[in-house]
Structure 1
């Protein structure tokens, strides 16, 4: 019974690391999209420039996605150390 419990818990940690890795990749993709969008739309630097605002949104969103992925990785690492 204990062996099955340990195997299930190790699987959950692997899934948490996989999710964190996927979120890191998504964060980098969002960062690249934001940079490209901002560079194309920087000529008219105002709050009425929708493309620039979307680009800035991608930049801010990429940081948030990365932070959530890092938190998931830390949570699952701490959970694995407790067991």
Structure 2
């Protein structure tokens, strides 16, 4: 019985680590897309410039994705500490 509980704990930690690394990579990709889009579209700096607004959206979205990934990492870290 104890072995099954340890195995399940390890699986939960592995699932958390996988999603956190995926979220981190997705955040960096979104940040890169946002930076490139903003740099290419910065010549017409106004709110009517759709490319610039999409770039800003990617920048803001990358921060949100990274924060959600950090929250998941902290949640799984606290969950494993309480289980031990």
- TM-score tier, shorter chain, comes to over 0.9
Alignment coverage as a number of residue pairs: 83
In the alignment, structure 2 segments of 5+ residues that lack a partner are none
RMSD: 0.6
Matches within 5 A, 1:26-45: 26-45=26-45
Please, what TM-score do these two structures have when normalized by structure 1?
0.97
Deviations 1:9-66 (Å, cap 9, x if unpaired)? 2111111011001100000000000000000000000000000000000000000000
- The 10-residue stretch of structure 1 (17-26 or 2-11) with the greater mean CA deviation from structure 2: 2-11
In 2, Cα distance between the equivalents of 1:49 and 1:37?
11
Distance in 1 separating the partners of 2:7 and 2:55 = 43
Q: Which moved more, 1:54-63 or 1:8-17?
A: 8-17
Q: Unaligned stretches of 5+ in structure 1? A: none
**Post-superposition, which runs of at least 4 consecutive aligned residues in structure 1 deviate over 3 A?**
none
Distance 1:74 1:18 in 2: 14
Partners in 2 of 1:13 and 1:39 — Cα distance? 39
Of 10-19 and 34-43, the range deviating more from structure 2 = 10-19
